[in-house]
Amino acid sequence: MLYLTIFICFISSVLLTPLVKKLAIKIGATDKPNYRKVHQKIMPRLGGLAIFISFIIGMLILSPEQKYTLPIIIGSLIIVITGVLDDMKELSAKVKLLGQIIAALVVVLWGGLHIDIINLPFGGSLSLGIFSIPFTIIWIIAITNAINLIDGLDGLAAGVSSIALISICGMAILQGNLGIAIMAAIVLASTLGFLLYNFHPAKIFMGDTGALFLGFIISVLSLLGFKSLTFISLIIPVIILGVPISDTFFAIIRRIVNKQPIGAPDKSHLHHCLLRIGFSHRQVVLIIYALAAMFGLAAFIFTMATMWGSFIFIAVMLIAIELFVESIGLIGKDYKPLIKFIRNRS
C-alpha cells in the first residue's frame, strides 16, 4: 500500500501541475522578470499547490497515526494559503512572516513539537526552558525561508528539497522512525512529479506556495526525526540542509559586510555567483544538486563517526565550505581571508 500511495502522489502531481498552471494564469499568479531574476518572460507560479494537494492525497490514503499528523496538515494549509496569496498579490514581508509564525505555532503549541533538552557531548545537558518554544519556532521559520531564498533557478528549490527529503527519509528509516519516513516519502513523490515541469526550461514555477510549503514541511520533519536531541544529532539536520542554510547564512554575512539591510534582496546568492563564473543555467542547477547530495551523504557519514571524529569532520566541512564560498565570491569578490592566509603560508 505504501509504494502504491507514493506512486499515486507522484502521478497526482504530474496530472495536477498543468491544471494549476492554467489556474495561475487565470488568477494572475505570475512571475514578471526583473533585474534580480534570471527568466526573461512572464511565468505562471503557484506550482506548489500541486505538490501540496498531492501530499494531502497521500496523507488521506495512508492516514499515518501520529499525534503530529493533524497539526502538520493544518500548519501546512496555513503556510500554503500564505503562499497562494503572495503568489497572487505579493504580500509584504511582515504579512508573510505572520503566516509562518501562525503555522509554526500550530505545530509547536497544538502538536507539542518543541525541543526541551539538548544532551551535551562531554556529559550533562542543556535545558532550553522558556527558550524551548522560541528555539523551535525560529528553526521552522529559518528553514522555511532558507528554501524560499534558494528558489532562484528552474528546478533548484524542488531538486534541493527532494535531496533533503531523501536524506531525512533514509535517516528516519535507519532510526526506525517509519512515520517520519512515510511522510517524507509522500512529500518527495509529490515534489518529483512537479519537478518534471519545473526543471530547466521550466513551464511553471512553484512560487512561494511551493517554497514555503517545502521549507515548512522539511523543517518540521527534520525536527521530528531528531527530537531526542544530543548536541551531535542537532547537527545532522543542519548538514542535510547544508545548501539552503549556507546560502542564507552567507547572504546575511554579505549584507553585513556590505553594510546593507539584512532583508535587502540582491543578486549574489549561490546560483547567481555560479552563473557569473560562466556556468550555464542547467549546469548551475546540477552543481547545486551535487552539493546538496554531498551534504546528504555527509550527514550519513557523520552519524557513524566517533565523538572526536564528528568534531574533526565538522571542522573539515567548515573549512571546505569557506574555501568554496571565497572562490566563487559568495560574500564579495574581494573577500578571501582564508585563501590569502593559505597563499601567504605557502
* Percent with pLDDT over 90 in the chain: 38
Least confident of 50-54, 63-67, 240-244, 291-295: 63-67
CA 263/CA 181 separation, integer angstroms: 34
Give pLDDT, residue 310.
75
CA 199/CA 282 separation, integer angstroms: 8
Cis amide linkage into residue 201, ω under 30° from 0: yes
| CB-CB contact of 68 with 107 (8 Å) | yes
Give pLDDT, residue 64.
63
The average pLDDT across 159-166 equals 93
Q: 80 or 304: which carries more pLDDT confidence?
A: 80
Give pLDDT, residue 253.
84
CA 71/CA 214 separation, integer angstroms: 16
Binding site, annotated residues: 148, 208
The phi-psi region of residue 176 (left if phi > 0; otherwise alpha if psi is between -120 and 50; otherwise beta) is left
Give pLDDT, residue 81.
96
Predicted TM-score (pTM) of the model is: 0.87
- Per-residue pLDDT band for 125 (boundaries 50, 70, 90) equals low
Helix 207-225 vs helix 48-62: crossing angle, to nearest 10: 40
Give pLDDT, residue 257.
78
Binding site, annotated residues for Mg(2+): 148, 208
| CB-CB contact of 217 with 74 (8 Å) | no
Least confident of 4-13, 92-101, 134-143, 300-309: 300-309
Give pLDDT, residue 297.
86
Q: 146 or 39: which carries more pLDDT confidence?
A: 146
| CB-CB contact of 291 with 156 (8 Å) | no
Q: Is the pLDDT of residue 49 over 90?
A: yes
